Amino acid sequence: MGVTIYDIAEQSGVSIATVSRVFNDNPRVSEVTRATVLEVAARLGYQPHVSARSLARRQTETVSAIVPMLTNYFYAEVLKGLQDRMNQTTFDLLVYSAPTLDEIEGQVEKALHRGRSAGVLLFSAPVKGELEKRLEASDLPVVLVDCYHANFDSISTDNRRGGEIAADYFLSRGAKAPAVLMANPHSVPASDRLDGFRSRMTAAGHPLPDSHIQVSSTDYHDGFNEEAGFQGMMALLESGCQTDAVFATSDVQAIGALEALRRSGVSVPDEMQVVGFDDLPIARYVGLTTLRQSMHEMGSRAFELLLDRMTKPAGAVTHTVFAPTLIKRQTTLEEVSE
């Protein structure tokens, strides 16, 4: 096999997208990088030709998304927004899924390997340590979805504010000792929701005891699943914890909790009020009070941020934060809003 642009990218220490930009005289490449790529190409005896340029263009019209827990309902909604927006362009989507947060780094490495895409969308991952170094060392545009880092464009929900709203609402509805069904503590969105809830309860003179925080299993979907909500609610009931309200860090956990309460003969909302987080489509059908986040719009806006970063690589970093909205339904003591 002859010399390819993949060989040039590897020996130049840049992505295939950068090599493609050099051969297509794209102004988004620095003169130093351009000179390096052309020197390597000359040394390897490579001459770009029409078919190679066509291949490179198709390659760089791929966007990679690294998504933990792909079958999680939240990610399905965000990806739908992403795909709907991408359908208005010529870009294709390549999705890398990680069953747990611990496997994110390996999937990121695949997405960044030899420039398989023109840009990367990273979902819900704490960007620190080796992952932070790897992303910063890459010359690919990166946008964070449902997480934050000062050096990368990001789009997220104000999860801490959502926890505060849930606490305020419970207090306004007469709850005396609410509890929290918590997902994996290493999940940034879940930990922010807990922090907001706990801080507001403390400020109101009702500090949240550790016994009122039930951490879900960290295995399947990092605790963002119905079974974790069911088991967590059963554990709270069996512990004798005197609680009259439960804030679940996701709708699916809340749905599992509702089933546990039904089987245990606990009346909702008269004996136990329940609030979730997400406002998945199913939440309306089970009458769940929840914090709505703009999942579809998050996906659409994430792709727009990535496009902006592709065309303006030296532009200022942008952080978009959506405010969650309380949607009142039948699992809390108040007239429903919809």
What token pair was written down for 176?
Answer: 């005396």
Could you give the C-alpha distances from 317 to 19, 123, 152, 247, in angstroms and in order? Answer: 24, 17, 6, 34
DSSP state letters, 11-33: HHTS-HHHHHHHHTT-TTS-HHH
> Could you give the CA distance from residue 169 to residue 245 in angstroms, rounded to a whole number?
11
Choose among 42, 38, 47: nearest CA to 19. Answer: 38
The order of strands in the sheet holding 245-248 is 213-215, 179-182, 245-248, 273-278, 289-292, 325-327
Average pLDDT over the chain, rounded to an integer = 87
For 316, counting Cβ atoms within 10 Å of its Cβ (0-12 exposed, 13-18 middle, 19+ buried), the class is exposed
Closest to 276 in 3D by CA, of 298, 296, 261, 256? 256
Neighbours of 113 (CB within 10 A): 12
141 residue type, one letter: P
pLDDT band at 337 (very low <50, low <70, confident <90, very high): low
Phi, psi of 92, deg, nearest 5: -105, 155
Helices 5-12 and 16-23 sit at what angle, rounded to 10 degrees? 110
Distance CA 261, CA 256 (A): 9
**Residues 157 and 293 sit within 8 Å (Cβ to Cβ):** yes
Q: How does pLDDT run across 78-126, given as a tens digit for each residue? A: 999 999 999 888 888 999 888 777 788 888 888 887 556 889 999 988 8
pLDDT digits 0-9 by tens, 14-71:
877 787 778 767 777 888 888 898 888 888 887 655 444 444 444 457 899 999 876 6
* Residue of 190, 157, 161, 150 whose CA lies nearest to 69: 190
The residue to which tokens 């550790």 are assigned: 210
Cα separations in angstroms, 278 against 281, 303, 327: 9, 20, 10
CB 277 within 8 A of CB 260: no
Dig out the tokens for 194 from the structure. Answer: 């807990």
Backbone angles phi, psi at 194, to 5 degrees: -65, -45
Say how far apart CA 151 and CA 100 lie, in whole Å. Answer: 24
**H helix intervals, 87-180:** 104-112, 129-137, 159-172
Share of the chain above pLDDT 70, in %: 90
Half-sphere exposure of 129 (CA within 13 A, CB side): 6
The yes-or-no verdict on residue 180 having pLDDT over 60 is yes
8-state DSSP, 217: P
| Distance of alpha carbon 271 from alpha carbon 280, whole angstroms | 24
Q: What is the pLDDT of residues 155-169, one digit of tens each?
A: 999 999 999 999 999
pLDDT of the residue at 59: 46
pLDDT of residue 58: 47
Q: Per residue in 238-296, pLDDT tens?
A: 998 899 999 999 999 999 999 999 999 999 999 999 999 999 999 999 999 999 999 99
DSSP category for residue 128: -
Neighbours of 213 (CB within 10 A): 18
Is the per-residue pLDDT at 3 higher than 90? no
Q: Assign 172 a pLDDT band (cuts: 50, 70, 90).
A: very high
Range 221-250 average pLDDT: 92
The predicted pLDDT at position 2 comes to: 64
Domains and CATH numbers, the chain: 5-57 (1.10.260.40), 61-157+295-322 (3.40.50.2300), 159-293 (3.40.50.2300)
**67, two tokens:** 């998504």
